[in-house]
Amino acid sequence: MKQRPIDAFLSAFLIFLAVSFHHSHADSRDRSSSSKTTAAIKVIIDTSSIQKIYLKTDEVLQDTAAFWETESALKVIKRFRERQKRPVPDPKWEKNISQIAQLSKKKRKNHPHLRMAQEVAEKIDYFHSTAIPYVSNFLPNADKMDFTLTVYLTVYTGAYRFMMSNDLYIDVAHERWKGSSQNILNNLVMVVFDLGFLECRGTRTEKPLDQKLYTLLEYLQGRGISTYVGYKALDKFPVEGVEYYNLLESESECTRIRNKLNDLFSKAKTMADKDLRKKAVEIGVRGYAYPVVGAYMAKTIEEKLGLDALKDTITQGPLSFLKTYNRLVDDDKKIHDFGDEE
């Protein structure tokens, strides 16, 4: 079986789990109009890497090692590969750039990957005027948030996106984007929410559970609401073929995935940390349980109680998210409650 390159969801989840365990202690897309406060969030699009690759290809190939050493879009990926003892520059990357060099200047200038990156950059003003106020509606105390997200667009790095702090590295050539700038922009909606959500972690009001169990709920809430925010943004940034959105629209698939997640949660307390991490990645990330089940929960809370109630679960924490949802649904749709085991 072909193994997927590590993506941002999976890498972030693995880091999140490792740190936490180490410290063990009906369609509603147009109803998000609760808060009118907009966060001071800025998104910067950096296309310098992809511009050089397609417009100055020969210069890049003259010294690929220097390009990886100095280009902002590749420096972090370089360090990541070096820690894994993988060759730098990536031989596959060099092969792809060599193939680009064989194209005529006209074809390089009009290459779909370069045009795609340029479209993202050209649409960033629309993104600021549309996505930032929209995402702010979902974030408690959005008026106190002030941060910048820098997005580096490049090609042929292997992972469709890679995040480090407030820097996001996107490979526009990756099949995940299906050649569409809209797919990237819709994904950026979720990334902006993710950063805002993380800022809320330090001010939660609820008392956490055992940390390894609480971490599972954190990821369910965070990935779930993020996916729901992206899903509801489809009228602004439409996409097709996003698997977790398609799964969210299928009641039978939501039930199937929820049952798998409940099976994991029911056994989590007695599982060894290593086994739990492995199963959490298998079911929660690769099996889409966190984005799909979490988004279903967020959708249910907003539809039945309103957006302010959903935001209140962010203020309180993931246990509140779980308990609020469970109070609204029949027993066959409930999520296993770790709090009941304490």
**Residue 223: CATH number of its domain:** 1.10.390
In a domain, 168, yes or no: yes
What mean pLDDT, rounded, does the chain reach? 88
Least-confidence region, from 7-21, 175-189, 195-209: 7-21
Cβ atoms 304, 333 nearer than 8 A: no
Percent of the chain with pLDDT over 90: 75
Rounded CA gap, 281 and 9, in Å? 10
Cα–chain-centroid distance for residue 110? 29
In a domain, 72, yes or no: no
DSSP secondary structure of 228-286: HHHHHGGGTS--S--HHHHHHT-HHHHHHHHHHHHHHHHHHTTS-HHHHHHHIIIIIII
Give residue 231's domain range. Answer: 8-50+118-341
Q: Is the model more confident about 251 or about 32? A: 251
Rounded CA gap, 266 and 269, in Å? 7
Rounded CA gap, 100 and 111, in Å? 9
Strands 40-46 and 146-154: parallel
In a domain, 61, yes or no: no
Angle made by CA atoms 48, 185, 253, in degrees to the nearest 5? 135
Q: Is the model more confident about 175 or about 4? A: 175
Mean pLDDT of 52-81: 94
Overall domain count for the chain: 1
Cα–chain-centroid distance for residue 46? 19
Which amino acid, 3? Q
Residue 271, classified by CB atoms within 10 Å of its CB into exposed (0-12), middle (13-18) or buried (19+), is: middle
In a domain, 140, yes or no: yes
Mean pLDDT of 306-314: 97
- Give which of 127, 172, 137 is closest to 153, Cα–Cα: 172
pTM, 2 dp: 0.87
Mean pLDDT of 208-220: 88
Residues 6+ apart with CB under 8 A from 269: 210, 213, 338, 341
Rounded CA gap, 277 and 266, in Å? 15
pLDDT of residue 212: 84
pLDDT of residue 29: 38
3-class DSSP assignment, residue 147: strand
In a domain, 308, yes or no: yes
Mean pLDDT of 280-291: 95
Sign of torsion over alpha carbons 325, 329, 335, 340: positive
- Provide the pLDDT confidence category of residue 32 given band limits of 50, 70 and 90: very low
Residues composing the chain? 342
DSSP state of 178: T
Residue 96, classified by CB atoms within 10 Å of its CB into exposed (0-12), middle (13-18) or buried (19+), is: middle
Token pair in block for residue 182: 């809209």
Strands 167-171 and 161-164: antiparallel
In a domain, 75, yes or no: no
Which amino acid, 52? K
Rounded CA gap, 188 and 177, in Å? 12
pLDDT of residue 264: 96
Cβ atoms 184, 120 nearer than 8 A: yes
pLDDT, one tens digit per residue, over 105-124 is: 999 999 999 999 999 999 99
| Residue 230 CA neighbour count, 13 Å, CB half | 31
In a domain, 102, yes or no: no
* Helices and strands, counts by H and E, the chain: 17, 4
Rounded CA gap, 294 and 277, in Å? 18
In a domain, 242, yes or no: yes
Cβ atoms 90, 47 nearer than 8 A: no
